[in-house]
Amino acid sequence: MKSWMIVGLLTCPILASAAPVEFRAAGSLKTAMSDVINQYQQQVDVDVNADFAPSGLLRKRIEKGEKVDLYASANMKHPTTLHHAGKAGAVVEFAGNKLCAIAQGQVKVDSNSLLQVMLDKDIRLGTSTPKADPAGDYAWKLFARAEQVQSGAEAKLQQKALKLTGGEHTAKPPKGRNPYGWVMGENQADIFLTYCTNAVLAQKEVPSLNIIKVPANLSVGATYGLTLVDDYQTDAAGLAMYILSAKGQAILAKYGFETRAQ
């Protein structure tokens, strides 16, 4: 990593370590980051209290004063907002993702027919909640791309989209369940737009689901940002550096994330 990125990441007030590192990260990072934390703790004697939730809701919690040392968002906007408000250090891109579609086994759809099937009035289209969860924002970007392919598609998709996950008031899955596998397993949608990494985890829980690659003319990429929150503990900087290291990046890549080394 370039030295200016390291300097930028670390330029906010620091506190001496006295309690667990309070780490908050996007829900889509839960499986991969839990592995990262586990591997880090095998090398460094440090306690990490991790909580995973929609990035936008985490940002609101930080803005309201929740004690957080390190924040990993599924977009660059939320941590950058904290940085501009003087609540966090500079933001470093640490991973990438893309949107995929997961479909019920009985739905006849492939990459070429995805847009037309999503537009079908009888197809229930699920998404995460925009503004609260970046996955929802990325779905709305996909809808905007659809408008360039077919006039009127954007409005139709926005109108019919069911915001099933990621909001303050959306139903929460049972403990230990993947939210998207649970939603689709409960037959709440015929097609759901989510990160490709989430799609793989959902299919592991519900093998009958199909993962559909989004065609290039609709494809939307997700950029993940990392920042240290003001008054962070010194141990939080070590975890941040591990996430950005070759070892941390290799773990993220194992779970399907695009990384700095790729």
Q: Give a yes or no: residue 34 inside a domain.
A: yes
Report the relative pairing of strands 48-53 and 210-213 from DSSP bridges.
unpaired
Q: Domain check: are 103 and 165 in the same one?
A: yes
Report if pTM > 0.85.
Answer: no
Interacting residues of 117 by C-beta distance below 8 A, sequence separation 6+: 107, 108, 109, 123, 191
User: The domain spanning residue 89 has which CATH number?
Assistant: 3.40.190.10
In this structure, are 89 and 106 located in the same domain? no
Q: Model confidence over 208-241: pLDDT tens digits?
A: 999 999 999 999 999 999 999 999 998 999 999 9
**Strands annotated E in 135-238:** 162-165, 191-195, 210-213, 221-228, 232-233
In a domain, 260, yes or no: no
Q: Is the pLDDT of residue 10 over 90?
A: no
Can you say how many angstroms the Cα of residue 235 is from the centroid of all Cα atoms in its chain?
Answer: 24
Using only C-alpha atoms, the chain has a radius of gyration, in whole angstroms, of 19
Q: What is the mean pLDDT of the chain?
A: 92
How many domains are contained in the chain?
A: 2
* HSE-CB for 134 with a 13 A CA cutoff: 28
pLDDT digits over 113-159, tens only?
999 999 999 999 999 999 999 999 999 999 999 999 999 999 999 99
Query: In sequence order, what E strands does 104-246 have?
Result: 125-128, 162-165, 191-195, 210-213, 221-228, 232-233
Residue 22 belongs to domain spanning: 3-95+224-254
CA–CA dist 222, 228 (Å, integer)? 20
Question: Is position 126 within any domain?
Answer: yes
Using the Cα atoms of residue 29, residue 32, residue 35 and residue 37 in order, give the sign of their dihedral.
Answer: negative
pLDDT of residue 124: 98
